[in-house]
């Protein structure tokens, strides 16, 4: 028994050891208390718990048998000090700057420390603490105190570990996104360099763009098109051809279809052709423009198209089959984005030029065969070259718009007029109750026939007339007599004639009428619209007189408010009318194409010979002049020392009228069937006096390929006409 007691005494810690453990614990607690002071969010709960523990431990007279327990508790306190409070204090961060996960972990830890503090206070009030460390039960309480601190710390560590991993994943995701953004920025630069028609999309906002269908009209056709789009069965036709006569509403339907598809997120791209715009009539810009739109529709298309451009940066200038494959079909098929349906809308394909490439593109579009639903919606007049392609392909949907029952079309036009006509007096501030009358409305509907363009032109004519007299204008129009012409266009021709004749009613000034004719001829035959001031200079007229001559033609011409803006035709049916002598029966307005093409050619050549000169780019040539070139235009000595005009815009060097003349003189030449001495003299003067300056200007405009084509075409024209 004595031996056992002796052995146990050796195994028990000495009084000094117990006191050392107690002192070490209290010291650690005081360090922890000091550290916690001034740490936002967590400092106060920690300090409260520590202060309570120190007060209680200092009351202990002897720490009999609990040295190891105190040591373990001391380790827990040290872990809390070194692992949390020191880093927080040293960081100098405000709690609002802590990461979200750390904030949540701190809140959880402080809640646990508060609970421990409250438990200690509760026990100290219940039992005299002088016995706290002297009994086995009290030793167990200290162990529980230590374990609960450890548990809180472990919980905090686990949360911190998970939070750190989440933050690491987030940082990696952010880094990946930065890399993707950088790559996409590089890809967008490639896409942005594609040649394209910027105003081709359905919502481009160009001044003479079509509008959407009036609510409640064309419902049957639109329902048919929607059903075709949504039919994703494998054997469903991929192409829908909506064809019809000019002015019947094809472009309005196309815009409505495109707008609806855009709202549904299924519109891959759209191209609204226009013969009155050089870019919008260019079939070579179709696939680059669609590629640009596809890239902005979905990021995966951006990547696949950009990769194609990385492989071949000249794709924007390749032939149609190559562009179709590399910029359109392959990027769609190779993309990870596989939509249920992807719609492309092409409007007024008959206005695309030249005709042979149009046929090739149609065949390419009809050949599309991919494992998901690409839908291509096309509209055009039933022109021969387009009909030829569709007649040889049976797997498409066709709708002939002018074959729709008269009653359906009449109902749509009536709904449109019932809404639009009563708006006119309200907008003019005129009181006209119950206007128009039912009989007048019936007459306008009947005259409109199947042509929506007729109804819209009537509305514009009455609303935009210089004299605010809606009923008077409507009455005079209804009383006018229809000329002889093709039955489908008879009423439209009458309307156009009425507008033109009203513009010169009571005018005896031959100069005014002559200016009006010259202006109309130019607007109708110009290959690309230019500002009115430039148009006037090109045809040798005063800009203000030209603007005045258009004053009464707002219903058929988009008349600019200033001479710096560009006049445009509302609808292609007007050029068709005014260049056809069987339809435009008033010779004062009839445009003889051969005569006017000759005039425009002469005016283009004259403009170039007047404005072209040596060094169109404005380079700093030093002391040298044009005499320092040989007859082929080669410099005799190196002469260009610097480019003093590097910040000068081409717009300041090349006026719109000169740019038009340089680009389109040959286009006007090719329309002339028979040469004249005046044409020959002007061509000779141009080639011997201004040819090299023209080549330089075309190079500055980035049109050197067009210059080569023009030279070749002019030579072919000369061969055919035998000059």
Q: What is the pTM of this model?
A: 0.68
pLDDT in tens, 419-467: 999 999 988 888 888 999 999 999 999 888 888 989 998 998 888 766 7
- Output the domain CATH number for residue 322: 3.40.50.300
Nearest by Cα to 199 from 297, 277, 315, 301: 277
Residues 432 and 399 placed together within one structural domain of the fold: no
Residues 552 and 610 placed together within one structural domain of the fold: no
Range with lowest mean pLDDT among 259-263, 342-346, 646-650:
646-650
In a domain, 508, yes or no: yes
Residues 428 and 567 placed together within one structural domain of the fold: yes
Coil, helix or strand at residue 648: coil
Nearest by Cα to 364 from 257, 290, 475, 440: 290
Return the sign of the alpha-carbon dihedral for residues 550, 552, 556, 562. Answer: positive
Residues 486 and 521 placed together within one structural domain of the fold: yes
Q: Looking at the predicted structure, is the pLDDT value of residue 39 above 60?
A: no
In a domain, 199, yes or no: no
Residue 436, preceding peptide bond in cis (omega within 30° of 0): yes
Q: What is the mean pLDDT of the segment spanning 180-184?
A: 80
Distances (CA, A) of 428 to 37, 49, 460, 463: 78, 82, 13, 8
Coil, helix or strand at residue 323: helix
What is the CB neighbour count within 10 angstroms for residue 495? 26
Which residue, of 562, 592, 622, is where some domain finishes?
A: 592
Range of the domain at 111: 12-171
DSSP strand pairing (341-347 vs 373-380): parallel
Higher per-residue confidence, 158 vs 559: 559
- In what helix (H) or strand (E) does residue 240 lie, and over which residues does it extend? strand 239-243
Which residue, of 592, 610, 640, is where some domain finishes?
A: 592
pLDDT in tens, 512-540: 999 999 999 999 999 999 999 999 999 99
In a domain, 187, yes or no: no
Q: CA Rg, the chain, in Å?
A: 42
Which residue, of 345, 371, 404, is where some domain finishes?
A: 404
User: What percent of the chain is helix, strand and coil (3-state, nearest 5)?
Assistant: 65, 5, 30
Residues 663 and 634 placed together within one structural domain of the fold: yes
- At 633 the pLDDT is 53
Q: Looking at the predicted structure, is the pLDDT value of residue 299 above 60?
A: yes
Residues 441 and 400 placed together within one structural domain of the fold: no
In a domain, 400, yes or no: yes
Return the DSSP state at 482.
Answer: P
Q: Looking at the predicted structure, is the pLDDT value of residue 61 above 60?
A: no
Residues 575 and 654 placed together within one structural domain of the fold: no
Return the sign of the alpha-carbon dihedral for residues 314, 316, 321, 326. Answer: positive
In a domain, 411, yes or no: no
Nearest by Cα to 566 from 589, 550, 590, 542: 550
Distances (CA, A) of 96 to 101, 398, 547, 645: 12, 65, 66, 55
With beta carbons less than 8 A apart as the criterion, state whether 591 and 578 touch. Answer: yes
Residues 599 and 659 placed together within one structural domain of the fold: yes
Phi, psi of 353 (to 5 degrees): -130, 155
Nearest by Cα to 526 from 654, 669, 659, 660: 660
In a domain, 189, yes or no: no
Residues 389 and 465 placed together within one structural domain of the fold: no
Q: Looking at the predicted structure, is the pLDDT value of residue 80 above 70?
A: no
- At 611 the pLDDT is 95
In a domain, 179, yes or no: no
Q: Residues 6 or more apart from 655 whose CB is under 8 A from it?
A: 534, 537, 611
- At 584 the pLDDT is 94
- At 43 the pLDDT is 53
In a domain, 188, yes or no: no
Q: How far apart are CA 453 and CA 556, in angstroms?
A: 10
Residues 122 and 62 placed together within one structural domain of the fold: yes
Residues 551 and 641 placed together within one structural domain of the fold: no
DSSP strand pairing (557-558 vs 397-400): unpaired
pLDDT in tens, 658-673: 999 999 999 999 999 9
State the total domains in the chain: 4
Q: Looking at the predicted structure, is the pLDDT value of residue 127 above 80?
A: no
Residue 280 — pLDDT band, cuts 50, 70, 90? very high
Helix axes 438-448, 452-463, angle to 10 degrees: 130
Residues 381 and 447 placed together within one structural domain of the fold: no
pLDDT in tens, 385-401: 999 999 998 889 999 88
Percent of the chain with pLDDT over 90: 45
Return the sign of the alpha-carbon dihedral for residues 178, 182, 185, 190. Answer: negative
């Amino acid at each position: 028994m004595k031996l056992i007691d002796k052995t146990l005494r050796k195994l028990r810690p000495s009084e000094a050891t117990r006191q050392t453990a107690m002192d070490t614990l209290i010291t650690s607690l005081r360090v922890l208390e000091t550290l916690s002071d001034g740490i936002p969010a967590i400092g106060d709960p920690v300090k409260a718990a520590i202060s309570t523990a120190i007060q209680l431990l200092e009351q202990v007279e002897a720490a009999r048998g609990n040295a190891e327990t105190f040591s373990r508790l001391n380790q827990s306190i040290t872990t809390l000090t070194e692992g949390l409070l020191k880093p927080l204090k040293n960081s100098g961060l405000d709690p609002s700057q802590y990461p979200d996960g750390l904030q949540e972990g701190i809140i959880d830890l402080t809640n646990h420390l508060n609970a421990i503090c409250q438990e200690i206070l509760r026990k100290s009030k219940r039992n005299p603490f002088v016995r706290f460390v002297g009994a086995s039960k009290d030793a167990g309480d200290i162990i529980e105190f230590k374990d609960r601190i450890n548990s809180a710390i472990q919980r905090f560590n686990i949360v911190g570990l998970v939070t750190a991993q989440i933050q690491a994943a987030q940082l990696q995701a952010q880094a990946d996104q930065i890399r993707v953004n950088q790559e996409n920025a590089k890809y967008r630069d490639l896409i942005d360099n594609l040649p394209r028609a910027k105003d081709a999309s359905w919502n481009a906002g160009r001044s003479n763009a079509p509008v959407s269908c009036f609510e409640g009209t064309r419902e049957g056709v639109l329902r048919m098109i929607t059903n075709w789009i949504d039919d994703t069965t494998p054997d469903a036709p991929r192409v829908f051809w909506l064809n019809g006569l000019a002015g019947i509403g094809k472009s309005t339907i196309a815009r409505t279809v495109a707008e609806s598809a855009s709202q549904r997120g299924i519109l891959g791209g759209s191209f609204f052709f226009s013969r009155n715009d050089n870019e919008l009539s260019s079939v070579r810009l179709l696939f680059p423009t669609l590629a640009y739109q596809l890239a902005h529709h979905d990021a995966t298309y951006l990547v696949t198209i950009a990769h194609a451009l990385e492989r071949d940066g000249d794709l924007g200038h390749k032939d149609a089959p190559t562009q179709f494959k590399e910029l359109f079909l392959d990027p769609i098929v190779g993309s990870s984005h596989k939509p249920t349906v992807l719609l492309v809308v092409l409007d007024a394909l008959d206005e695309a030029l030249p005709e042979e490439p149009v046929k090739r593109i149609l065949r390419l579009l009809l050949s599309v065969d991919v494992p998901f639903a690409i839908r291509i919606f096309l509209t055009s007049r039933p022109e021969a070259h387009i009909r030829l392609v569709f007649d040889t392909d049976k797997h498409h949907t066709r709708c002939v718009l002018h074959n729709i029952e008269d009653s359906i079309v009449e109902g749509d036009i009536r709904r449109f007029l019932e809404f639009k006509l009563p708006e006119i007096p309200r907008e003019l501030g005129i009181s006209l109750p119950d206007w128009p009358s039912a009989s007048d409305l019936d007459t306008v509907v009947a005259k409109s026939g199947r042509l929506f363009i007729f109804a819209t032109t009537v509305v514009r004519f009455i609303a935009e007339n210089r004299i605010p007299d809606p009923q008077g204008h409507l009455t005079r129009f209804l009383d006018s007599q229809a000329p002889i012409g093709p039955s489908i266009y008879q009423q439209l021709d009458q309307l156009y004639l009425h507008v033109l004749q009203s513009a010169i009613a009571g005018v005896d000034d031959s100069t005014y009428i002559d200016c009006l004719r010259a202006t109309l001829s130019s607007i109708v035959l110009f290959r690309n619209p230019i500002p009115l001031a430039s148009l006037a200079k090109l045809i040798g007229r005063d800009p203000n007189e030209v603007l005045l001559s258009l004053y009464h033609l707002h219903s058929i011409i988009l008349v600019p408010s200033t001479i710096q803006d560009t006049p445009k035709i509302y609808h292609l049916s007007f050029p068709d009318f005014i260049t056809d002598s069987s339809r435009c029966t008033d010779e004062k307005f009839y445009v003889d194409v051969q005569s006017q093409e000759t005039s425009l050619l002469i005016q283009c050549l004259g403009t170039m010979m007047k404005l072209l000169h040596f060094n169109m780019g404005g380079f700093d040539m030093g002391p040298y002049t044009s005499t320092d070139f040989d007859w082929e235009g080669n410099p005799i000595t190196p002469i260009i020392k610097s480019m003093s005009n590097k910040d000068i815009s081409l717009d300041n060097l090349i006026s719109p009228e000169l740019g038009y003349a340089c680009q389109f003189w040959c286009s006007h030449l090719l329309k002339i069937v028979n040469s004249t001495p005046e044409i020959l003299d002007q061509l000779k003067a141009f080639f011997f006096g201004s040819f090299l300056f023209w080549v330089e200007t075309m190079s500055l405009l980035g049109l050197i390929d067009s210059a080569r084509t023009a030279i070749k075409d002019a030579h072919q024209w000369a061969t055919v006409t035998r000059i």
